[in-house]
Structure 1
């Protein structure tokens, strides 16, 4: 597999360069190669060839990152579980994947019912980074996201999928990492964004800087940017909301690239953030876990490229070999400027949800294109394509709610609520069910209480009355998922309107 071979060459060619900075400790690519080889040796001596799916406890340490590469060199897939997630849920993930072996760098492993490779206590081994021959349709990893039924939902990604992602990013002339780059890795390894934040730096011989478990993420990032002079940032947009009070203190001329994804990037804060990064190219990436992280991007620039809809920056155009298709409820393509559901096709598409045929039937479809069958994934995101070929994000299909029989885009409510607010704070519109079982609109504001009369008077001039929130809650700090996204489900619990 091409990208695995490139990883081998990169580690060998950059042996004296720093590969990782974890909790203020630097490790070179030579240190990395030693750990990879030790773990690889243990896998080869412990795990049968037929066992392809290996559990990985995602501690923030050298051994955990080395385990991913050791597994890939052996032609196996990692199934990551977060050590702070309840063991019952993690055991369910291992049960669904029939995982028998777990790599765990913890001092004492709690995974007593599995064959554990204690990666933090292995004997020395000769450095061996030569990859095994592997078929492209074999799995590289499986990530589990929350499922609507309460059961985690598995997304398997193959070596071919990852290779297609690497090819697409390599084909992008605007983005080119170099060995001297210092790259932020803020994501938990169970989240798909982590793949791009360790993979591309390792392919380039760059150094990644991780966030220790338990650290206050935004504050640690602020310190890393300032003290370590990071050059490449990959973030979820919610993080810069927390950094906003520090914008006047942030002047980071070293940052070359800043990529966003995993949530809507709002134009007002994007402009302010770009002032902090005078020499930086900003990319607004789009892509779900089911499509191997990235599928395309919009090159944001505060003066020349600021296309937005309802205050949300455009998601731009698909990357190489990726197809975008906007469809109606019958999966038929809609015309330019008409909103529909965005569907993705191309070599990065997952083979399908893990052992979930019912879900696969809902989320994937095949259509004839140029005499060939093309498979698409339905993202659940509402978008439209404009005359210039850019795709603009409207909102989640499940954030489009019915109020008094009318369809309401929650993103539009949020846009108008923020437009006249003197305070630059997070605002989230929610549909809340009242005692009669009807949906009403609520507005959650991440702030101490303040007078909202101006905001509501403005909204009344912009939207019909059924789109004006009837309930407001001030919440000091919004609840977030482990991936940094606002937890809307938990936000609803603040509205007791029965």
Structure 2
């Protein structure tokens, strides 16, 4: 597998460079190579070759990252679980994947019912980074996301999928990491964005800077930008909302690239943020876990490339070998300028949800194109394609609600509320069910309470009455998922309607 071979070559070439900075402590690629080799020897000694899915406890340490590479060199997949998540849920992940072995760098592992390989304290061995020969259709990892049935939903990704991602990023001339780059790695390793924030620095001999568990993410990122002079930032957009009060203190000429993904990037804050990064190229990436992290991007520039819809920056065009298709409810392509569900096809598409044929039937379909049958994934994202070929993000299909029989896009409400607000704060529109079972609209504002009447007066001249929120809640700090996304389900609990 080409990218695994390239990892070997990069680690061997950059032995004197730093690979990771964890809580202020630096580790070299030489340190990394030794830990990979030690863990790899333990894998080959203790795990049968037939066992391909290996559990991984995602601690913020050198050993956890080394475990991923050690497994890949052996052609095995990692099944990550976050030690801060309830044990019962992690055990369910291992049950669904029939995982027997767990790599764990914790001082004391809680996974007593599994065959634990304690990666701390493994005896030294000679460095061995030569990858085994294995097929690209073998799995590289399985990530689990929340499922509507209460069970976590598994997304398996193959080595071929990852290779296609690497190939697509490689051909983008506007993005090229170098060994001297200092890269932010803010993502928990159970989140798909983490794959690009560790994989591409490793392929380039760059250094990654992680966020310690328990640290306030936005504050720690602010510190890293200022003190460590980071050059590459990959973030979810919600982070810069929290950094916004500090924009006046941020002048980061060292930052070369800043990539966003995992949420809507709003045009107003994108412009303010770009003022903090005078020498930076900004990319708004798009892509779900089911399509191996990235599927395409829009190169944002505050003066020349600001295309948006309802205040949300465009998601641009698909990357190499990726197909975008906007369809109606019958999976038929809609005309240019019409909103539909975005579907993705190409070599990065997952083989399908893990042991979930019902969900697979709902989420994937085949379409004949130019005499070839193409498999597509239905993203659940509403988009439209403009006359210039750029794709614009409209909103989530599940954020489009029916109010008094009218179809309402929650993102449009948020756009008008934020546009008029004198306070630059987060605002989220929600559909709330009242005591009679009818849907009503609520607006959550992340702020101390202020007079918002003028915002609602403005919305009344911009939108029909059924789109005006009937309920408003001021919340000092929005709840977030572990991956940094606003937790709408938790937000709804602040609206008790009788």
Q: Same fold (TM over 0.5)?
A: yes
2:44 counterpart residue number: 44
Question: Equivalences for 1:7-406 in 2 at 5 Å?
Answer: 7-406=7-406
2: CA distance, partners of 1:433 / 1:68: 44
2: CA distance, partners of 1:441 / 1:204: 48
2: CA distance, partners of 1:134 / 1:462: 59
Deviation at 1:313? 0.1
Deviation at 1:286? 0.1
Deviation at 1:190? 0.1
2: CA distance, partners of 1:314 / 1:370: 28
- Give secondary structure in 2 for the equivalent of 1:41: helix
1:6 counterpart residue number: 6
1: CA distance, partners of 2:327 / 2:62: 44
2: CA distance, partners of 1:65 / 1:333: 42
Provide Cα deviations, 1:233-283, integer angstroms capped at 9, x if missing partner. Answer: 000000000000000000000000000000000000000000000000000
Deviation at 1:487? 0.2
List runs of 5+ in structure 1 lacking aligned partners: none
Deviation at 1:469? 0.1
Deviation at 1:125? 1.0
2: CA distance, partners of 1:229 / 1:443: 38
The number of equivalent residue pairs is 498
2: CA distance, partners of 1:16 / 1:149: 49
Provide Cα deviations, 1:132-153, integer angstroms capped at 9, x if missing partner. Answer: 0010100000000000001000
2: CA distance, partners of 1:398 / 1:108: 41
1:411 counterpart residue number: 411
What TM-score do the two structures reach when normalised by structure 1? 1.00
List runs of 5+ in structure 2 lacking aligned partners: none
Deviation at 1:173? 0.5
- Give secondary structure in 2 for the equivalent of 1:4: helix
Deviation at 1:120? 1.1
1:447 counterpart residue number: 447
2: CA distance, partners of 1:261 / 1:134: 32
2: CA distance, partners of 1:445 / 1:120: 45
1: CA distance, partners of 2:446 / 2:409: 20
2: CA distance, partners of 1:284 / 1:403: 31
Deviation at 1:45? 0.2
2: CA distance, partners of 1:109 / 1:453: 54
**More deviation, 178-187/117-126:** 117-126
Provide Cα deviations, 1:333-358, integer angstroms capped at 9, x if missing partner. Answer: 00000000000000000000000000
Provide Cα deviations, 1:66-94, integer angstroms capped at 9, x if missing partner. Answer: 00000000100000000000110000000
Deviation at 1:402? 0.1
Deviation at 1:121? 1.5
1: CA distance, partners of 2:452 / 2:17: 53
2: CA distance, partners of 1:266 / 1:120: 43
Deviation at 1:197? 0.1
Deviation at 1:367? 0.7
Instruction: Give runs of ≥4 in structure 1 deviating > 4 Å.
Output: none
Deviation at 1:162? 0.1
2: CA distance, partners of 1:174 / 1:258: 12
Provide Cα deviations, 1:301-339, integer angstroms capped at 9, x if missing partner. Answer: 000000000000000000000000000000000000000
- Give secondary structure in 1 for the equivalent of 2:20: strand
1: CA distance, partners of 2:456 / 2:191: 37
2: CA distance, partners of 1:426 / 1:449: 13
- Give secondary structure in 1 for the equivalent of 2:373: strand
- Give secondary structure in 2 for the equivalent of 1:402: strand
